[in-house]
Structure 1
Amino acid sequence: MFRRKTSVERSSQPQLASEPTAGSGALSASSASRERFSAIRHEVMAAIEPSVVVQLSKSELESRTYEAVGEIAQRMQYPIGHAEQARITQQLVDELLGLGPLQSLMDDPTVTDIMVNGPQAVFIEQNGKLKPVDVAFRDEAHVLNLARRIVSRVGRRVDELNPMVDARLPDGSRVNVMIPPLALDGTCISIRKFSEHKRSLAQLAELGAMSPQMATLLDIIARCRVNVLISGGTGAGKTTLLNALSFGIAPEERIITIEDAAELKLQQPHVVRAETRPASSEGTAAVDQRSLLRNALRMRPDRIILGEVRGAEAFDMMQAMNTGHDGSMCTLHANTPADALIRLENMLLLAEARLPLPALRRQIASTLDVVIQIERMRDGRRRVVGITEVIGLEGDQYVLNDLFRFEYQEQDTQGNIHGRFVSTRTLPRFSPKARYYQLEGQLKQVMGV
């Protein structure tokens, strides 16, 4: 695995971390400890044989690196014990195979988001709340090198011509990179971690995101092919809820998902997943959501699921929902159901400016059946705060009817919010669909009518 390299070969090695992470058992913060780690790391990296490393399993690489660290420390007369030798080994393996200082955070299942704001400022979201962590990069060059490694894995690059890049890690985690001069305080890396474990509606209810009755109602909504818009702020849990809703889709249906960064992982056997592609400096043309949506209509879908409505594709999505693809679902950034409909109006105007606003409103009112509002509240918990049906138009105003809503009661001394999920005890307008799918009795029971 190891050989002595020339100075030219050493200079071509990627810039790797010299600072250990807190999560992987950080080395002492003393200057002597840092210098010792840096010297050992320099010797190990200078002796690496890449053609051998790529053929080793992780356990084999860990074993050989551990031996090499011990030999180097003995030769350089460094007083390190087995624990410190193991920590140095883990740090080096993370650099070779993972994300360096961020790898311990990636391995922590309680961390949902990782945010790097330059070499010395790293934050995470844990249990719904943001907080700083004792993780640091050596310098700006080290952060930039990691950013370039991440985006290169999906055939993209980040440089002065492309200072903002979206990418995806091999495990499905979504990454956004922004570098100077746009990022004034150093390279920024934002990672939304991908979770293999997909929670059902019942499991979300057990976690307090909704009541059991709301979970049953949402399952009925998915099963009887109601057109759904999920609304919420950034990080509110829209994609998690969308995945949970998809459990109610029949296995024989053909589903096409369209996303900017693939996060949905549906359980059904007949799923076609599509992802947008940005333009590249090599001349590769961009493929946006609208193009993918138009192509999806030619692929005989039963349902279309749009990860997030952002712009002109909203018009095509409304058309699809209104022309035989009922039961389709999408998400949108908004703070209330009414705000969501207004945002949707604006997107439709951007796509089809020649159509009058009253006509676009009629299309929205006749196409969308339900808006589900989800919110990350100030205690860090994510809750479905409203299930609202779109009744129609009265003049130029939407007529909305809450089916369920969350009523705030109090916040305790630990900062936890308490409230209750309340049914308005009204039968939804889509009850004829429920009757067609033999779910009307269950719907009446859930709504208490």
Structure 2
Amino acid sequence: MRYEEKMMQPFYKIGKWIASKMVKKEDVKYQKLEQTLQFVENSAKEKDAFEFTARRIAKVMMILFWGTGLCFLVAVFTGEAKEITFLARPSYGQGSMETDLEVQVEGEGEAQKIPILLQERQYSDQQIDEFFQQAIEDLESVILGENISMQEVRSSLEFPSSVLDGKVKADWFTDDLGLIDEKGNLVGEPTEGGTQVQITVNFSCQDREMDYRFSVCVFPPVRSEEEKQQKQIQELLQSEEQKRAQEEQLRLPGEIEGKKLEWKKEKESPVQMIAVLVVITALCIWMLEEERLQAAVKKKQTALTMEYASFLYKLMALLRAGLTIRGAFERLAQSRQVREHYIDEEIRRCCNEMKSGVPEAQAYENFGRRCQLPEYIKMGTILAQNLRKGSDGLADLLEAEALRGMEERHQLARKLGEQAGTKLLFPMMLMFGVVLIILMAPALMSFSF
């Protein structure tokens, strides 16, 4: 017996008793559970819904029992407040801490809750002096970045906002912001022989501050031949621009160091815009074709619905005149009308099927399915059934179906009229606005401002 089963064994009897009150063999819910268990019988431990339910209840009871016991033990050992005489203060840099304590005054009834705000631990003056000294000693390694030394600075310096893991804050100032800004970035062009820059850093820790000044020598950055040439061209352009600031045009330099310069302005190519338009157009056409197809389907379905009643009346009249169903269909297929209808096309297809050897009943059913409307499918089924059983009473049945079709035609016509009225609402509003402008324009123009 596994450990889990041993743990569950005391609760299994309780689970079986509760399951006996819950499980009923005639209940549909438990019959479905039985089928599911039979489907997975290779992996399930339970043979029926009763045992499965009993085990589930046993597991729940076991969890509730041990959980309640754990809650009781925690409440016993942590329920009463522990008496303290000291309160741990937050360490350096951790910020202040808020907490609530209960205090019991001797002779008083209830304990009082007192909120306490503890500030972080403060450094001593000696510690702060040591921090300042350490910050000065580490200064060069902190700010140099990619430079070799403070006497040869060719790239930006690093001015951190704090040092020594945040113990000391640092604010930076330079006497030549045109060369080095307050973030340590090189923003100007130093001389080839180097330019001295005075830097002041203000260290602060708690309520104490200290200023430390030092100087660095800034040289032009090391450039490749291409970068040097680009720099010369930029300087030449700046010089030319300053000389001709009052002229309409800027003459671009024609040569540098005896080498001819050819200036070209890159044209904005419309290729990307055209490509985007092509993709958008392709997507629009894709969706438009789908929309056209759906519109054609809807148009044909609407037309077939409108033609349904008249088709049945014609078919009914021909049947009462003594023609068979096939003869009536052939007569309708041969008739020529001023305006071609969708139903005429489907009737001719049905006749062509019968001529090609398709059974007559199957042809009528195919006729209804091709129309894709419930009333036509029903009518095709009626014709096929009456062909097998005989056509007695078929004309009356078609007449009743025609009356129902006429009612649907009236409802559809009313719906189409409402849709047309909704579509005309916006043009009518535009026309109303135009009329208002025509009427009010002369009156407004007659006012003298």
TM range (shorter): under 0.3
| Higher share in helix | 2
| Higher share in strand | 1
> Which has the higher relative contact order, 1 or 2, with Cα contacts under 8 A spaced 6 or more apart?
1
Larger Rg over CA atoms: 2
